[in-house]
Amino acid sequence: MPTPAARPAATAMSSRRRNYRPRRSLRTILLIWFLLLSLVPLMFVTGYSLVKYEEAIDSELVQRLQANSREVATTISEYERYLATRRDRLRNDPKLQFHLSVGSAVAVRQMTSGILANSFVSEISVFDRDYQRISVLSQADLQVGREAINPEPQLALHEAFTQKLGQQHQIVVASVGPQNSLDLISIVRIDGKNGSPVGAVEEVINLGGAFLENLKKRLGLEILVFDSRGDLVAASHPDLLLFPKDYFHGNVQALASGGQSLFDLALRGEPLGFMLTKIQWGDSNFSIGLGASKRKAKAVLRNINLAFFTVIGAVGLLLILTAFVTSRIVLRPLNDLVEALRSMELEDGPIEIPVTTETEIGVLTESFNEMSHRIHLARQELKTKIEELEAANREIRDTQARLVHTAKMASLGQLVAGVAHELNNPIGFVYSNMATLRDYSQRLVHLIELAEKNPKALESEKAKADYEFVQADLPKLIASCEDGARRMKEIVVKLRNFSRLDEAKLKKVNLRDGLESTLALLHGELKNRIEVEAEYAEVPEVTCYASQINQVFMNILSNGAQAIEGEGKIRIQLDQPDAQHVRVRISDSGRGMDRETLERIFDPFFTTKDVGQGTGLGLSISYGIIKKHGGEIQVTSSPGQGSEFTILLPIESALPAGS
């Protein structure tokens, strides 16, 4: 039973249940796995069985159509053998040879009825020695008692056939007949006793409506007849003739290339499966398509599909019900645990869940309650530690800010000392010249006043005032003062260019100007002791904060000068290693550094100088400035061999304005 203290927590948890839901439902996962493990194998077996059953139906249909195709091919072969026998008999008929050799067309027409009677031949035509038709008779004419007639106008045998008959005794060919039919034609040349041609006989078996109807009744199939080009020429059902003649070209071509000769076709809602058979008839060929109904097979297949899907639906419904029941028993306590875990971030105190079962879930609930108490205590301790760390962090930041300020002031003091030293010389001789200028000006003023009051005494007074010397020395003295003032102005301009107080923003800068300004400010420290070699290549301007980059140059050049004991050399190289960067290399001939010093050279507060001579922040600040600009700074050095700093800056910096 839940304790009284647990009831408020349970009530609050039930109200929070409306607002917090897991991203994925375990109920859904269980249901999906139930369905996958149960329905997928069943569906696979069902699908496999249906495919195999349909393949069996198609196989049975193919076997049936193959047997019927062989039967049709056998019938056509029998026709061919039958016509071959008749060709031999006609060639050896002396009576026919005689009448054709003497040109007796009447006698030939009288014989035609006897030749056609009691045969499978649909029509017979007789030609004379010039291959002009002199007699024609069909089975329809014979049935109504008509005699063979002399056609008007007379038709000649096709020139292609006459040429072949000149080379061989017989022609066997298939041709499109009248009224949607195919004619199986047999032509035999009749020779006289001397071996010369005296005429020809053409016999035709027509594969038309009557033939197809009889074949359809006997086989119970629909029939299509195609000529050698694949055009539909005859069919057992009138609706099949409504298709365009070239509709079946693809199937006939597939048959000709040895491919699949099976295809489906619907005829007034009746599904039919057709198979094509290629038949050779003498010098030509044609194709016959046999189609069997698939209605019964489709009906059986639909019933099987319905049964299978019914079973699958029933199993699926049962699994869904099972999943819901399972979730009510198992998942609800788990949901309570999940919601309690989610609400721990919002509650200040520990959270307790009522234990409602003695199963493993109950043990899990008790463990959660204990964990909630421990987490609450840990949070309180962590909060105290965080407050202590924040106070220590504030103190460290304040100390760091003071140290950075000290380093800046030290650099500024060094810079001011150098500038003061540089200004001292021009200021000194300008100041010393001022006393002489004052004396010269007083003499000249006295001479001017004397010239106004007593011009006669002017010459003697000019000699006393050494006028000629003053006149010659005064321009030199003024020029000397101007040189001193100009030198002071140059120093101030260099200082302004170095600090760039008027350009404290991101813009394109010529690095050569920054290097020159820095060298000018360090002139007092470098002159008479250190030789500076500068090699400036033509490079594009760099987008940067000029004052910050100048500060980097000042730190490196100042350190290099301090590393040289006595006389030495500093070399500066400016070039462009690739299309995206500009490179500055500054090397000195100082005492160099060992490996341990190199590894710590950019660490804050690290310095090799004596106490009170450096803060160890100059190179650390320089490293931060170059990294902020998206560049690289590297140093190589060895003891006694000097040091070289390499700065690589991007031409187009990605720095935001005001960084």
Identify the pLDDT of residue 573. Answer: 94
Domain ranges across the chain: 56-295, 393-499, 504-659
Opening angle at CA 569, ends 519 and 538, nearest 5: 55
Assigned CATH topology for domain 56-295: Beta-Lactamase (3.30.450)
Q: How far is CA 602 from CA 414, 608, 643, in A?
A: 21, 12, 14
Identify the pLDDT of residue 264. Answer: 82
Question: Considering only 186-195, 216-225, 269-278, 391-400, which range has the smallest mean pLDDT?
Answer: 391-400
CA distance 413 to 558: 13
Identify the pLDDT of residue 571. Answer: 93
571: which strand partners? 533, 587
Q: What is the pLDDT of residues 621-637, one digit of tens each?
A: 888 888 888 899 999 98
**Residue 187 pLDDT class (50, 70, 90 cuts):** very high
**Residue 19 pLDDT class (50, 70, 90 cuts):** very low
Identify the pLDDT of residue 282. Answer: 84
Does pLDDT of 390 surpass 70? yes
Percent of the chain past pLDDT 90, that is, above it, reads: 10
Identify the pLDDT of residue 8. Answer: 44
Identify the pLDDT of residue 203. Answer: 92
Does pLDDT of 12 surpass 70? no
CA distance 419 to 523: 9
Q: 590-617: string of b/e by CB count within 10 Å (b at 16+)?
A: bbbbeeeeeeebbebebbbeeeeebbbb
Question: Considering only 16-25, 31-40, 71-80, 339-348, which range has the smallest mean pLDDT?
Answer: 16-25
Q: Which H or E run includes 633?
A: strand 632-637
Q: Which of 180, 185, 279 is nearest to 235 (CA)?
A: 180
DSSP three-state, residue 363: helix
Identify the pLDDT of residue 212. Answer: 87
Whether the link from the prior residue into 153 is cis, omega within 30° of 0, is yes
CB contact at 8 A, 410 and 614 = yes
Q: What is the pLDDT of residues 152-165, one digit of tens each?
A: 667 888 888 888 88
CB contact at 8 A, 335 and 356 = no
242: which strand partners? none
- pLDDT higher at 31 or 272: 272
Identify the pLDDT of residue 563. Answer: 85
Average pLDDT over residues 301-314: 77
Does pLDDT of 502 surpass 50? no
Does pLDDT of 338 surpass 80? no
- pLDDT higher at 185 or 492: 185
Does pLDDT of 577 surpass 50? yes
Average pLDDT over residues 526-541: 89
CA distance 554 to 413: 13
Identify the pLDDT of residue 586. Answer: 94
CA distance 202 to 267: 37
CA distance 253 to 260: 10
125: which strand partners? 136, 202
Q: How many CB atoms lie within 10 A of CB 114?
A: 10
Identify the pLDDT of residue 649. Answer: 93
CA distance 378 to 264: 77
Identify the pLDDT of residue 2. Answer: 43
Average pLDDT over residues 366-393: 83
Does pLDDT of 4 surpass 50? no
Does pLDDT of 131 surpass 80? yes
CA distance 634 to 626: 10
**Residue 328 pLDDT class (50, 70, 90 cuts):** low
CA distance 603 to 586: 20
**Residue 6 pLDDT class (50, 70, 90 cuts):** very low
Q: How buried is 198 (Cβ within 10 angstroms: 0-12 exposed, 13-18 middle, 19+ buried)?
A: buried
Does pLDDT of 530 surpass 60? yes
Opening angle at CA 272, ends 269 and 277, nearest 5: 150
Does pLDDT of 299 surpass 80? no
Assigned CATH topology for domain 504-659: Heat Shock Protein 90 (3.30.565)
**Residue 474 pLDDT class (50, 70, 90 cuts):** confident
- pLDDT higher at 33 or 165: 165
Identify the pLDDT of residue 629. Answer: 87
CB contact at 8 A, 524 and 418 = yes
Question: Considering only 96-110, 126-140, 605-619, which range has the smallest mean pLDDT?
Answer: 605-619
Please tell me whether the overall predicted TM-score, pTM, comes out greater than 0.85 for this model: no
Identify the pLDDT of residue 555. Answer: 83
Average pLDDT over residues 283-304: 80
Does pLDDT of 20 surpass 50? no
Percent of the chain past pLDDT 70, that is, above it, reads: 78
Q: Which H or E run includes 620?
A: helix 618-628
Q: What is the pLDDT of residues 552-561, one digit of tens each?
A: 888 888 888 8
Average pLDDT over residues 386-393: 87
Identify the pLDDT of residue 15. Answer: 44
Identify the pLDDT of residue 10. Answer: 41
- Identify the sign of the CA torsion 154, 155, 159, 165: negative
Structure tokens at 608: 């090799």
What's the mean per-residue pLDDT of the chain?
78
Tell me, what amino acid is at 251?
N
CA distance 68 to 228: 21
Backbone angles phi, psi at 75, to 5 degrees: -60, -45
Backbone angles phi, psi at 653, to 5 degrees: -80, 145
Average pLDDT over residues 199-212: 89
| Long-range Cβ pairs for the range 561-564 (8 Å, 24+) | 561/522, 561/525, 561/526, 561/530, 561/588, 562/590, 562/609, 563/588, 563/590, 563/591, 563/592, 563/642, 563/643, 564/529, 564/530, 564/588, 564/589, 564/590, 564/591
CA distance 331 to 344: 20
Does pLDDT of 504 surpass 60? no
Backbone angles phi, psi at 187, to 5 degrees: -120, 130
N-term to C-term CA, the chain: 64
Q: What is the pLDDT of residues 48-85, one digit of tens each?
A: 777 777 777 777 778 888 888 888 888 888 988 999 99
